[in-house]
Each structure stands twice: as C-alpha cells, then as structure tokens.
C-alpha cells in the first residue's frame, strides 16, 4: 500500500507540473507587452513554431497520461494481494536467451573488514610453526632410525635430572570404537560393558589407580543398565579424580569428513550427558585414533572451555621433525587468529601407535615387555619374541631400570621433565585379570622407582589432566596458558601416513553414499530442531502446550545421538566392516524417518491460522515429505504430486538464519500447472520433463521449478492447481546429442526437443552473471567467463581412472595406493549429452557408461546466479580394483603459485554403497597392531 501511494503521488505531481507549465506559457504569450505594442501581429514563422510546441506538449501530456495509467495498473497488480513480494517474471530476448529482471532489493551486502576475522590477519605475533611451511621444508624421507624405526637414536646423561626429578604419569585407558569390526551393540555386549563393570570394582580397590575414558556413547548405554549403587560409585570415582572423562564427545570423531555442525552437536550431546548424570565437565581432549587432525577440533575444544588436548595420528616424518626440535608440545592457534584467543595447549604423541609397545619409549621390543596382558599363557604375545615377566622382588630392580631407560629417552623429546605414558589399546581391560596384571605389576615398579632418590624419578598412575596440571605447575603457568619457551603452531595434520607411502587418504572418499546420507540427516536435524522449538514456544505462549506432541523431543535426541555416533572415525570414514556399515545405515534411516515426523508435526502446527484446530494423529499425518527411501542403501524417491480439480498445497521451510531466494523443484502429474504464492499471487514457473535415463522421459511425471523467496527461519506455502498460464508456465527446451549412437529419444508436445545425431562443437550456457562453456564431445565443463570481465577462466574437467598395486598392500577403505599415474577414462561408447535450457535454470547432463554428471546454472539474481551446481552419480560395480576420479584444471591466479589442479575421487562407489573402493573394508595391517600377532604388523618399518 505504501508503494501504491508513493507512485500515485509522483504521477500526479508530474501531471500537475506539466499542466501548470503549459498554462504559464500560454499566459505569457497572451500578456506579453511587446507583442501588444506590435499590434499583436506575430511573424508567421513564430506562430508556426509555437503551434508545433503546443502540439508536442499535447503529445507529451498524452504519453504522460498513458505512463501514469500503466504505473497505476502495475501498482494495483503488485499490491492486490496484501504484502506479497513481486514475482520474478522472465522474458525471452531476441537473441534466444531468457532474462530474469533484477530485483529492487540488493542481492549482496557489503562487508566491513571488522566483520571478518580473516581480514585481520597479519596482526600480532606470527606462529613459530606453520604447517604449510613445515610440509614444504621436510624431505618426507623414510630413513631407518634404529630401534625407533621412524626416528633416531636418543641419548642422555643420568645427571640430566639432578636438578629436577622426572615426573612420570602412566595413564591406563581403553579405546572403544563405537562400531568397526563389530557393531556398536555387539561391542558393548561382548566387551565394553565388561570393561566398565570391572573399572568400578578395580579402581575402588586402590585409590592410587586411575583410568581414562572418552566415548560417552558407550558410557551412556552402560549407565542405563547399572543400578543406583554402581552409579554412586562412578560419581565418587569421577569426583576424586580416579576416573577422567576426556574430551566428553559422544564419540571420538573423524576430523576430515565430519561437518563442523555435527562435530559441535556430538560434543554438546556428550557434555550435556556428563553434566546431567555425573556432574562432570571435561578439561582435556584425547584423540588417539582419528586419521589425521584438523584445526577445527582445537578451536571447538577451546570454545568448550577445555584447556589441553592430545593427538596421535600424525605423519611419521612430521613426528620425527617435531621430536628433533622439541616441538611435540605447542599452543595450537587458528591461522586467522591475530593473537592467542584461540590457543589450546596440545601434546603430540611421538611414536608409531597408541598401543603399549609404542608409548613407553622409542624401543617397542622393550615396551612390549611391560604390557602385562601379554604375559605368557595369554591370547596375545609380543611379536619381538621377548615376552613380559611378572614383577617380583627378585627382578624389580632390573626391570625398573630397563623401563626407566625408556622413560628417560622419551622425555628427552620434550621441553619439560613431566612425562606422559599411555597404557592401553583398543578394548583393553575387558577381563578382570588384565586389570590385576597391569595395576599390580606397575605399582611394584613405581614403588621401587619412587624409593630410590638417586634415580630422580617419581612415577605414578595418572589421568590426562593430572599430567597437564603437573606440566603447568612445573612451568609456572595457569592451566591452558602458554608455558615459557613453548612454540605456537597453526595449520593441520593432513594427510596422515603411518609408514612408507601408506597415505590414509582413501577414507576421504570411501562409501560416499553414506557420507551423503550423513549430510542429509544433519540438514534434517537442524530443520527439525528449529521447527520443533518454534512450535513448542508458540504452543506454550498460546496456552496450547498440551495439544502439541512434546514426545517429539525424544525423537530429536535419538537423531542427535545417531548423527553423533556416525561421526565416529570408523563410521563416516567408511572404514568399518560390511555388517557394521549396514547397522549404521539402518540407524541413519530410522532417525531420518523420525525427523521427518517431527518436521511434519511442527510445520502442520505453524501453518495453521487457527492453532486450536491442531490435532496430532501419528497414524494420519497432515503433511508428507517430498521424498522417501525404501531402504538404508537406496537413493531417495521423490514424491509426485497428483493434480486434479482441487488445489494442492506445498509447505516450504528455510532453515537458514538469512532470507534466501532459491529455485524449488517439485514433481507433478501434469505439465498444465499453475503455481500461486501464499497470498494468491500467480508465480512464473519452469516446466521440464522428468527423465529416467539419458533418452527416456518418465510418462505422466513432470518437474515444475519455481523461484521463491523465504524469510529467515521461515515457512512458505505454495498452491498448485491444474491450468495453463502461457505467460507464467514456461517450458524448457531440450537438445540431445547422440554422437552417432542409434537411440530412440522420448518426445512430448509440451517441450521443444531437438535431437542432434552428431556434432562436436562446443556450446555455452549463460545467465546475467556468467557464460559457461562445455565440450561438445564430452559434455564436461571447459571454461567460465563473467559478463563483466573480458578474460575467460579455464575450468577444464576430465574423468580419470586409478588402478591399484598388485602387491600385498592395496588401495582400500583407508589407503590410497595407486599403481601409477591416473589414466584417462575411456568409455565403450561416446556419452549422450542432454542440454536443458529454461528461464530459471539450465543444465548439461553427460551420460557415460559408469557415471553421469549434471552441471546446472541458475538464472537468478543474487548468490545462486553466481554459482554452478555440479553433481555426479556413479555405478562402478564392474570396476574392480579401480578408482574413478574427476580432475579439474584451472588457470585461476593463485598469487604466484602454479595453476590449480583439483581432484575429486569421491565418485567411486556412489551407486554401490557397500563397495567402498571395491576392495577390503578393513584397516591396513599396521593400523591396530594389537589385534594381530605378526611382527610385521606391530613393528613399523
């Protein structure tokens, strides 16, 4: 209404000015004294000029009247339906392209440097260690280091500790994977519950004993199955410091594949559980098994008020370098942080693994002799053929001296005289006799060492926080502060290699189907939490809380925990065994279905004008979601909206905290469809065919795409009904390139379609911002040019194939070990290309034998119009021992660096979710050495 008034007033003012100007002109002519003195005789030429001007003025007045009429009609049309936003009505230009008019509102907002911490880089002290620089300087060789194969000989003087005793903290721990070789529930039943049950009794036998636990998911399941007396005992053990809950996450998450929202979610879920049930707040982070480490985790842990953390899986060459420079402990800082606000103290374990043979010191042959689970007669032994011996009065001096030598050598790699020695491995302490063997024998060693002042050592059981507290005390700083002389580091620790050239980069792309399902669940969880919160708040404010199903909160909790469980470093990574992957998939799908119920209930309540009419009936939901999945390993099937004489309604939700303009695509049963906004305003739509293959349309199913603007965290409603508005229902045009293949192509009278049997000329798609060129032969992207720039940027795509080695070590779920350089992907037949062009989006689909790729360009103002959507769907069931990759070459200026080359191997296995990389899903042999007796598996090369 405000716009209508403004335009009307403006038009009226223009009209009044024009009329008043004409009046003044005529009045001046009539009353001009000079003209009266001349008897009123005008020269004929002047009369003619005046007459022409009057005629021109009359014509202008008439045009002005028409303009005002048009403006008035436009205003009435725009404001006919309350406050609805103007519809985007594209038009077809003479050169054959669609144009969407610009919006009156700005599409972009300016950003002040103060708004972005990245813009503040360069201020303050730079870190001494920048991982990009370190990686460029290291040779990454693999020199034999003696007993410490990946390191070097360590020497010391017995008098090095005369001034200050060596303080040793031995930290018993058990790393419990929430799914890997066995499922989560099977691990719990067969091992984890026994570990935790024994923990309660064994720690209470001696107050000097300590234990570390990290996986809250297992702990919460166990907690639900124990009695009140045992719960009270656990709280006492936590309270007196014998049991430490480290990190406090639902799992020990992967740090390469997980989205930071999911990392935060699983951390919050674990911390809230600990606070509610144990009254505990984690202080230290413990990450011994993720396959490489991201700076995102220290940032999140620091923001969660943790002061210290530990990491383990770092490239052996980096570990060696940091050991030689005494840089294994550092303040980990974000690369964009100009000061120390994001710093967290980090300890990097120096040796090959976190098992007992690789934690007491540099020589695994000796350290294995102090893993008392391997005493003769047990199920596992030491691969170095020297077994442990029980500690007695007769041998304690000799055994203590041997162990102390390892402690002293390890301590020479660090800057303080406080030493951390983990004592555990995967699923350790699952039998009571192991608790006894470890605690009794180590306590005898500690008692002897501590009774010898000349040795200058104090050894004890401890937790991770015990170690950090002692280090801070020795260095004279508050917990979490930077000890004097310790370096500051920024960067990440990817990619990880544990030996030779065994780079753990295969898991970046293993089982991509489930990686995608993870993101789907994450998006639905965020949307469900927002809608549930809005609905509950509204129902409480309206006094209708009793009518709303608050039981949906339990579904949200279950979904958060399922998502958290899948962030585990053997879940989202795709590195678990087949049966475990199936178990994860079933859990993900079950939670996805539950979240859709929460979304349906909340949206139903929120869209109702009269909230008192809301009725919750789980057997007859008011709404249904736009896609379904038949199984955990099935691609989603989209819902087809059946159109008839009655209108159909679609509810849309924007889960972002900012307004967005997006194209929404729906499947309908007729190409004759009209779409209206919530206010009843007709909307322009693009109608396209729905294809089942490269050349076959699905009968009686059509895709309707409509651009719609949704408010932040807001809902919108579309009305669909049968009908045809030729000005607003705009069909796509299609070109199909067969490249000589004899294939029948479906046709429909609603869509212009042209079949091109042969032709290899390049072609382009364009919108108001850019022009995108494609290869006429391959259908793949070649270059991009922005309309406001003359230079074209090369963005050249190609498919490549990697083979795998014929040796014992092969590429798999963990490792990427190709047999050489990638070779071009050569399909049996030339690809079929399908080019769709329309008012709101255009796309190129290239159909190859094993993959089809879609590149879509949106014709919209704003951010979406400045981006390309690229997606690939892959079926490699007959591609055994091969990996398909998409490589992108660009000539984008990298500020002095070489032209960029990007490679994405996630294409492999998309349609075959169980296949991973077509190879074994287990860890490489060196990953968890305690599970296997062979010396080649335990001893690093």
Q: What is the DSSP string of 740-782?
A: T--------TTS-EEEESS----EEEE-SSEEEEE-TTT--EE
CA-to-CA separations, 264 to 120, 270, 522, in angstroms, rounded: 25, 10, 12
Tokens found for residue 91:
């038009």
Sign of dihedral through CA atoms 889, 891, 892, 897? positive
Does residue 131 sit in helix, strand or coil? helix
405 a catalytic residue: no
Catalytic residue among 177, 289, 371, 425: 289
Burial class (CB in 10 A: 0-12, 13-18, 19+), 806: exposed
CA-nearest of 113, 132, 131, 133 to 123 is 113
Which are the contacts of 549, defined by CB distance < 8 A and separation ≥ 6? Answer: 601, 616, 618
Which are the contacts of 517, defined by CB distance < 8 A and separation ≥ 6? Answer: 585, 588, 589, 592, 632
Tokens found for residue 622:
């008011």
Q: Tell me if 97 sits within 8 A of 25, measured CB to CB.
A: no
Say what the alpha-carbon torsion angle 212, 217, 220, 222 is, to the nearest 10 degrees.
Answer: -80
Distance separating alpha carbons of residues 525 and 541, to the nearest angstrom: 24
CA-nearest of 516, 526, 677 to 599 is 526
Residue 382 DSSP symbol: -
Does residue 76 sit in helix, strand or coil? helix
CA-nearest of 266, 179, 310 to 560 is 266
Q: Tell me if 591 sits within 8 A of 517, measured CB to CB.
A: no
Centre a 10 Å sphere on the Cβ of residue 706 and count the other Cβ atoms it contains: 24
Q: What is the DSSP string of 705-725?
A: EEEEEE-TT-EEEEEEEE---
Residue 450 DSSP symbol: H
CA 10 to chain centre: 51
Tokens found for residue 778:
């391959």
Tokens found for residue 397:
């001096």
Phi, psi dihedral angles at 851 (to 5 degrees): -155, 145
CA distance between the termini of the chain: 78
Distance separating alpha carbons of residues 466 and 468, to the nearest angstrom: 6
Which stretches of 351-461 are assigned E, i.e. beta strand?
Answer: 418-426, 457-461
Q: Which DSSP helix (H) or strand (E) runs through 34?
A: helix 33-37
Contacts 24+ apart (CB under 8 A), 543-552: 544/611, 544/612, 544/614, 547/612, 547/614, 547/615, 547/616, 548/601, 548/605, 548/614, 548/616, 549/601, 549/616, 549/618, 552/597, 552/598, 552/601, 552/602
Distance separating alpha carbons of residues 535 and 607, to the nearest angstrom: 10
Tokens found for residue 867:
């981006």
Distance separating alpha carbons of residues 634 and 117, to the nearest angstrom: 42
Which stretches of 417-456 are assigned E, i.e. beta strand?
Answer: 418-426
Distance separating alpha carbons of residues 313 and 325, to the nearest angstrom: 19
Catalytic residues: 289
């Amino acid at each position: 209404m405000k716009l209508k008034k403004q335009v009307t007033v403006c038009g009226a003012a223009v009209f009044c000015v024009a009329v008043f100007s004409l009046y003044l002109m005529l009045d001046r002519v009539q009353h001009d004294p000079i003209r009266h003195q001349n008897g009123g005789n005008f020269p004929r030429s002047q009369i003619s000029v005046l007459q022409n001007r009057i005629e021109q003025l009359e014509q202008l007045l008439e045009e002005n009247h028409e303009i005002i009429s048009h403006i008035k009609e436009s205003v009435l049309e725009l404001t006919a339906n309350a406050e609805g936003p103007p519809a985007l009505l594209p038009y077809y230009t003479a050169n054959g392209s669609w144009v969407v008019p610009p919006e009156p509102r700005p599409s972009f907002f300016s950003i002040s440097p103060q708004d972005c911490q990245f813009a503040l880089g360069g201020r303050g002290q730079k870190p001494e260690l920048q991982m990009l620089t370190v990686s460029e300087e290291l040779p990454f060789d693999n020199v034999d280091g003696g007993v410490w194969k990946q390191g070097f000989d360590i020497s010391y003087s017995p008098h090095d500790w005369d001034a200050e005793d060596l303080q040793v903290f031995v930290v018993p721990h058990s790393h419990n994977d929430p799914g890997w070789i066995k499922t989560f529930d099977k691990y719990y039943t067969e091992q984890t519950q026994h570990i935790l049950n024994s923990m309660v009794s064994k720690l209470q036998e001696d107050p000097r004993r300590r234990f570390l636990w990290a996986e809250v998911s297992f702990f919460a399941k166990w907690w639900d199955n124990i009695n009140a007396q045992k719960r009270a005992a656990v709280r006492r053990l936590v309270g007196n410091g014998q049991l430490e809950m480290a990190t406090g996450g639902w799992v020990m998450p992967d740090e390469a594949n997980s989205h930071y929202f999911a990392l935060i979610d699983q951390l919050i879920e674990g911390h809230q559980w600990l606070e509610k049930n144990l009254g505990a707040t984690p202080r230290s982070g413990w990450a011994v098994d993720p396959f490489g480490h991201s700076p995102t985790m220290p940032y999140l842990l620091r923001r969660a008020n943790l002061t210290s953390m530990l990491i383990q899986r770092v490239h052996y060459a980096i570990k060696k370098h940091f050991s030689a420079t005494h840089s294994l402990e550092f303040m980990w800082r974000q690369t964009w942080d100009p000061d120390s606000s994001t710093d967290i103290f980090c300890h990097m374990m120096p040796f090959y693994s976190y098992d007992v043979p690789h934690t007491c010191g540099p020589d695994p042959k000796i350290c294995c002799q102090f893993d008392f689970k391997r005493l003769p007669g047990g199920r596992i032994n030491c691969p170095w053929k020297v077994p442990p011996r029980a500690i007695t009065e007769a041998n304690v001096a000799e055994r203590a001296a041997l162990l102390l030598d390892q402690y002293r050598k390890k301590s020479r790699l660090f800057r303080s005289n406080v030493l951390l020695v983990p004592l555990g491995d995967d699923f350790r302490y699952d039998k009571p006799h192991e608790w006894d063997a470890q605690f009794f024998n180590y306590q005898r060693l500690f008692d002897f060492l501590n009774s010898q002042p000349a040795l200058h050592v104090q050894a004890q059981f401890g937790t991770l926080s015990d170690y950090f507290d002692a280090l801070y005390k020795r260095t004279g700083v508050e917990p979490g502060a930077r000890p004097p002389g310790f370096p500051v580091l920024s960067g990440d620790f990817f990619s990880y290699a544990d030996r030779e050239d065994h780079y753990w980069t295969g898991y970046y792309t293993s089982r991509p189907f489930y990686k995608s399902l993870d993101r789907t669940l994450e998006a639905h969880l965020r949307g469900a939490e927002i809608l549930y919160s809005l609905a509950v708040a509204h129902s409480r404010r309206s006094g209708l809380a009793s009518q709303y199903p608050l039981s949906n909160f339990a579904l949200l909790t279950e979904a958060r925990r399922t998502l958290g469980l899948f962030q585990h470093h053997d879940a989202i990574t795709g590195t678990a065994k087949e049966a475990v992957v199936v178990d994860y998939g079933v859990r993900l799908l079950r939670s996805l279905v539950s979240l859709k119920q929460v979304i349906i209930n909340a949206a139903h309540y929120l869209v109702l004008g009269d909230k008192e009419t809301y009725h919750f009936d789980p057997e007859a939901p008011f709404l249904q979601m736009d896609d379904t999945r038949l199984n955990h390993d099935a691609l989603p099937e989209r819902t087809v909206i059946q159109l008839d004489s009655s209108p159909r309604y679609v509810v849309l939700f924007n889960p972002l905290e900012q307004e967005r303009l997006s194209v929404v695509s729906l499947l309908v049963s007729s190409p004759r469809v009209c779409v209206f906004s919530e206010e009843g305003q007709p909307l322009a739509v693009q109608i396209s065919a729905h294809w089942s293959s490269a050349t076959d349309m699905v009968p009686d199913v059509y895709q309707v795409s409509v651009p719609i603007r949704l408010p932040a965290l807001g809902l919108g409603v579309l009305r669909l009904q049968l009908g045809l508005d030729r000005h607003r229902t705009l069909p796509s045009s299609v070109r199909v390139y067969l490249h000589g293949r004899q294939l029948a192509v479906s046709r429909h009278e609603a869509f212009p379609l042209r079949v091109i049997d042969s032709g290899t000329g390049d072609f382009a798609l364009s919108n108001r911002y850019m022009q995108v060129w494609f290869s006429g032969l391959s259908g793949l992207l070649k270059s991009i040019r922005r309309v406001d720039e003359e230079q074209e940027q090369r963005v050249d795509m190609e498919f490549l194939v990697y083979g795998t080695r014929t040796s014992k070590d092969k590429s798999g779920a963990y490792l990427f070990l190709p047999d050489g350089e990638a070779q071009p992907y050569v399909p049996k037949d030339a690809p079929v290309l399908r080019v769709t062009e329309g008012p709101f989006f255009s796309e190129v689909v290239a159909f190859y034998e094993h993959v089809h790729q879609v590149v879509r360009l949106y014709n919209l103002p704003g951010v979406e119009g400045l981006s390309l959507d690229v997606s690939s769907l892959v079926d490699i069931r007959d591609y055994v021992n091969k990996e398909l990759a998409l490589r992108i070459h660009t000539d984008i200026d990298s500020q002095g660096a070489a032209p960029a080359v990007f490679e994405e191997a996630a294409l492999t296995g998309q349609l075959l979710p169980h296949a991973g990389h077509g190879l074994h899903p287990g860890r490489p042999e060196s990953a968890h050495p305690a599970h296997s007796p062979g010396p080649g598996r335990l001893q690093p090369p």
